[in-house]
Structure 1
Amino acid sequence: MEHGPVEVLFLTFPADAPLADVASVLRKPVDDGVIRLVDCVLMLPAADGTVSVVDLEEETELPPGLAGLEIDAHDLLNDLDIQVFVDSLGEGELGIAIVYEEVWAKRTVHALQGLGAEVGLFAHVPVEDVELAFAAAAAQD
């Protein structure tokens, strides 16, 4: 199977964030065929300060609202990755780490490679940097 670019996204939310809404937002690009979730790990804080780690594609009893989220069975995040995420959680926050394949990019790149193209660079620019670049360009106009 050919694979495309894969990215890791780690998000934090207030501990009382509605997980059903989070799952709903994640379902849209999956259902549209834009991305494919290949690993998804949820970090849930407990009252005693510990954090439960739930590997969503392996868990049979998911938290309400997350059942039915289509995730391939790949463990691309290792224990060290997950510990970094857990350590970065603030008090009263939950976290979700998402590894996703850029399906649209995979299809496009493979089609262009069929025409002789070679990938010279693939870079991810964080949204904050994009906003700064657009603001700087607007200030120059």
Structure 2
Amino acid sequence: MERGPVEILFLSMSEEVGLNDLAAVLRPPVESGVIRIIDCVLMSRDADGSLRAVDIEEAEGLPAELAGLQIDANDLLSDADIDLFAASLAPGRAGLAVVYEQVWARETVSRIRSTGAEVELFLRVPPEDVDLAFASAAS
């Protein structure tokens, strides 16, 4: 199976941020076919510093909005990956690691390759850096 560029997005938030709200943000690009979620892990750090991590696609008892989100049954995030993300979580904070495929890019790369060309570089520029670049160019 051909795959497109795969990215990892890690979100951190206070535990008051609703998972339903995050699922509502992720649902439109998934349902429209722009991205495909490959793996998704929710983690939280208790006040005593202990970490809980739940693989969303395998979890039971999730809020309806999150439980209904289409996620492939893959475990691409390793324990080491989760430890790396969790290291940034202060007590009382939660995190969501989302591994997703850029479906539109997979289709585009496939068409590019059919012409005989190759993609030599795929680079993601963080939104903050884009804002800075535009602000710098405007001044």
Name the TM-score, length of structure 2 as normaliser.
Answer: 0.93
Contact 2:44 2:89 in 1 (8 A): no
Q: Which digits, 9 at most, give the CA deviation of each residue in 1:106-141, with x for residues without a partner?
A: 0011012111121111111111111111111111xx
Match of 1:16 in 2: 16
Match in the other structure for 1:77: 77
Aligned residue number for residue 95 of structure 1:
95
5+ residue gaps, structure 1, are: none
1:32-111 matches, cutoff 5 A: 32-63=32-63, 65-111=65-111
Q: CA deviation at 1:64?
A: 5.2
Residue 69 of structure 1 aligns to a residue whose secondary structure is: coil
Residues 44-98 of structure 1: per-residue CA shift (max 9 Å, x gap): 2335432210001122332454111110011111000001111111232110000
1:27 equivalent to 2:27? Answer yes
Q: Are the aligned partners of 1:40 and 1:98 in contact in 2 as well (CA < 8 Å)?
A: yes
Conservation of the 8 A alpha-carbon contact between 1:38 and 1:73: yes
Tell me the TM-score normalised to structure 1 length. Answer: 0.92
Q: Structure 2: 5+ residue runs without aligned partners?
A: none
Moved over 6 A (4+): none
- RMSD between superposed Cα atoms in Å: 1.3
Provide the aligned length of Structure 1 versus Structure 2. Answer: 139
Q: Percent identity?
A: 57
Contact 1:19 1:64 in 2 (8 A): no
